[in-house]
Structures are given as C-alpha cells and as structure tokens.
Amino acid sequence: MIRRFANPTRFLALARVVMPLAAILCAFGFGLGLWLALAASPPDYQQQETVRIMYVHVPAAWMALFVYTSMAIAAITGFVWKHVVAELYAKAAAPVGAAFTLICLVTGALWGQPMWGTWWAWDARMTSVLVLLFLYLGYIALVDAFDDPQRGINAGAILLIVGLVNIPVIKFSVDWWNTLHQPASLTRLDAPAIDSTMLWPLLTMAFAFKMLFVALVCLRLQTEIMRRRLAVRHQQVAGEAA
C-alpha cells in the first residue's frame, strides 16, 4: 500500500479524482459549517457572540498540529522507504500548515482581546504554537535554500523529525502548566465539555478545514510533480541539442 503510491503517475491518477472531490466537500462543508457557526448556533452564556471565533480558531489549531505531525511521518516514510511522493508531500503541505498556524494565532489574538483583555500573553500554549509557526517557516526556508531540490528535501526531513518533540508540548501544555488558555474541551475521557449545539458546527468546520487541506495539498503535489517532470524534460532537450 505504501509502495503503491510511491509511483508519481499512480499518485497523479488518484489525485485527479481526490482533488475535485475534496474541493466540492470543502465548499459544502464551509457552506453548512459557516451557516451553523454564524447563524444557527446559540451565543455563549458568558462570551455572547465572540464564541463564534472558536469555529475558526479551534479547527485551525487542530490542522496546525495535524499537518506538522503528518509532515514528520511523511519525512520518516521518505527516509525509510525512499518514498518520492511522501518526500514531496512534506514540502507541499508546509505552507498550508504554516497558514493554518497563522490563522490560529490571529483568531486567538482577536478572541483574546475581548475575552482576556489582551491580544497576546507569553503563556505556554501560545508560546508553543508560536514556536510551531517558527518551525514551519524554518522548514520552508531550509527546503528552498539549496540549488539541488533533493538536498533541501533531505535536510528538511531531518528538521521535521527533530521538531516533532514540540507537538506533545503544545498538546499537553494546557495540562502541564497552569495557563491562561483553557484546557481541552473535546478530547477528554468523559463526555466532551461542550454542548451539542456548538459541537456540531465545530465538527463541520473541522471537516471543511480538513477537506480544504486535502484539496490544496493534492493541487500542490500535482504542481510539484509536473514541475519536476518539466525540469527533467528541459535537461533532456538540452542534452539532445548539445
């Protein structure tokens, strides 16, 4: 299974189906999710209307962690199986993940201002997410810094695996330290500490974010594979001419 999609041609065939499907599901997800989040769900009894920021903030935060973890797993896969598409995946997903992290931080600041009275605090959760953004940006800078793209991908893969230690720190920062940021409401052993009228819009938005990510990554991977083929073709043509 892992080997199967290491072949870029097979992957492209799959992506041609998955990309439009994910794009359609993403459009539906955002349509339904935004309506549920902005109109159909009740305002919070304490936070009133500002609670609606959560429907963007929380899915973006989930995606920020998910994308980084998936990139690191892809990096390991690339190392172990010399999996071409996995190597390219990390490169393709990085800017998307960085954008999700930025959305998370910006909406967090917009939410923090009315609720906590501050845009920013050097709190464990916020600091570790900021470090995550720096890790994304460092990875993007490193991958792009080599004349030979493969060297950039190799160096970036090691950086991704090293940076993976930050992920549990972010996840559990609200449990380990007594922070301004609230602890997790959903991933608890007992029932989620969130009412179903707010849970469903949140999950719909999370689904829409995920589909957006799948569609964007498929598109970026297709572009990257095409670009590589074009580069090879250019070299061949240059070789024939010489």
- Can you give the binding site for other proteins, defined by CB under 8 A? 127, 131, 134-135, 137-138, 141-142, 145-148, 150-152, 154-155, 158-159, 161-163, 166, 169
Q: Shortest Cβ distance from residue 72 to other proteins (Å)? A: 13
- Between 45 and 122, whose beta carbon lies closer to other proteins? 122
Question: Tokens representing 239?
Answer: 């070789």
Distances (CA, A) of 118 to 58, 112, 113, 202, 236: 19, 6, 5, 24, 58
Q: Shortest Cβ distance from residue 147 to other proteins (Å)? A: 7
Q: Shortest Cβ distance from residue 114 to other proteins (Å)? A: 28
Q: Shortest Cβ distance from residue 155 to other proteins (Å)? A: 4
- Between 106 and 131, whose beta carbon lies closer to other proteins? 131
Question: Tokens representing 125?
Answer: 């959760």
The rounded distance, in Å, linking the Cα atoms of 162 and 145 is 19
- Between 54 and 132, whose beta carbon lies closer to other proteins? 132
Helices (runs of H) and strands (runs of E) counted in the chain: 7, 0
- Between 28 and 177, whose beta carbon lies closer to other proteins? 177
Residue appearing with tokens 């954008």: 99
- Between 107 and 166, whose beta carbon lies closer to other proteins? 166
Counted residue by residue, the chain has a size of: 242
- φ and ψ at residue 82, rounded to 5 degrees: 55, 45
Q: Which residues contact 76 (CB under 8 A, 6 or more apart)?
A: 157, 161
Q: Shortest Cβ distance from residue 129 to other proteins (Å)? A: 12
